[in-house]
Chains A and B, each alone.
Chain A
Amino acid sequence: MIDDKYNELIQREIDGANSRAQSRKLKRYLGDNPQAQKFYEDLLAMSVKLSKVQEIEPPQNLKINILNSIPSEKYIKKGRYPVFKLSLESLLFSKKVRYAYIFAAGLIIGGLGIGLLFNSFINQETVGVSNLSGTMMRDVTTGSFQTAEKFDISETNVSGHVELSYSKKAILLEITSKTEREIEARVEYNGNDLNFLGFKELNTAKNNFSVSGNSIQFSCIGDNSYLIIWDRKTSHMSPLQLKLYSAGLMITERTILNEP
């Protein structure tokens, strides 16, 4: 039987909470009491085991999910907040409703659906974001976007359209796709030049979206449109790599330049 007083000293010793005097007192007690010594050693061994438990990696998309979920307008930046960034975030990230407005505006302007909304970028040499925001309230003007590259996808099980637009501050990659079975899309980029800002899809569906290193992955099925946005860290133009996989096999790979 271990005296309550010494039981507490043992527990505190395990937690490193004893004073030197208390530790010395406990040591003497343990020396004279094999049962207490065994109890102390068992607790210590268990504590060591507990302290060795490895941390588990959270899901890769946890941070993105968190940042996309916070009410972005709760705290207003005072001072030097980059105007472009403020407008882009309010334009694209703050609320789904606003994003819907973008597409709604595109639909009204183009009258051709979301696929043609993206094509509306193509048909202009220079596409100002302001052109997309006629129904939105914005008090700042963003930089204009230009089309860098556009192409159609026509592969077994997947067809669609890809377009890359850029401004001095940002890169937008728009992908519209029509697939009969699940296709995995992977976009690789140079993290030295680009900072991933966000991912949006037109129709909410299971997309298995994740960001790993400088690679963005998501799955597509049916008709949908996706938008990926990066901040440009530098003026350097580095290419993006778009890869599409079906049932684990790569069906197409394409290098997309950031600028013509």
Chain B
Amino acid sequence: MDRIDDNILVQRCLQGDKKAFEEIVDRYQKTVFNAAFRILNDYEDAADVAQSVFIRVYENLEKFSARYKFFSWLYKITVNESLNFLKQRKEIGGIAAEEVADTKTPEDLYKDVELSESIQQALMQIGLDYRLVIVLRYFQDLSYNEISYVLDTPEKTVKSRLFTARNLLKNIMSEEII
């Protein structure tokens, strides 16, 4: 079956077609959840953020401009929601994201992914700005330009951060993974 274009689904949503929004959720819930998880490093928090992302998406569909790719707009909201969540977590005295790396990760989700765990641990050791570009580049497969849009950051800065992030990760991971 042909995949319906995201923008058409958005139009259908705006016309009150809930099935269209359900299709959007089906299409992107895993991606949004994974992006949030890589940023937050907490399964439950990632689920909460993913839920709030889709609620915000739904509430703001009228503001979406078709001149952008829908998924870029979605990632932008995902990143913002994740950052807001991190900010709140710190404000209420919760565990800082960088500290979470030492705590458990859901074992049932990581049965066959020791590598994933190691990479996640390494990701949590680099700064948030660097983590974001790695997540968007490697886990969401976005281009420099798309990352620039999602992060509201000049492309040149995106490249610089990505290069630095990669070097940092390489140094962290080289002993145990590479």
Interface residues of chain A, those whose CB is within 8 Å of chain B, are 7-8, 11, 14-15, 17, 42-43, 45-47, 49-59, 62-63, 65-67, 69-72, 74-79, 81, 89
Contact = CB atoms under 8 A, between A and B. Distances in A.
Contact of B116 (A14, A53, A67): A53
A62 B159 contact: no
B80 interface: no
Given A53-B113, A67-B25, A78-B15, A46 B178 contact: yes
A62 B46 CA distance: 10
Contacts, number: 118
Contact of A46 (B14, B16, B169): B169
23 contacts: A11-B166, A15-B162, A42-B174, A45-B178, A46-B178, A47-B166, A53-B115, A55-B31, A58-B34, A58-B46, A59-B47, A62-B47, A63-B29, A66-B51, A67-B18, A67-B21, A67-B22, A69-B55, A74-B58, A74-B59, A75-B61, A77-B15, A81-B16
B16 A71 contact: no
Interface residues of B, number: 48
Interface of B is mostly: helix
Contact of B51 (A17, A69, A72, A81): A69
Nearest to B166: A43
A55 B166 contact: no
B166 to A, nearest CB: 6
Interface string B31-70: 1011001000001001100110011001101000000000
A50 B58 contact: no
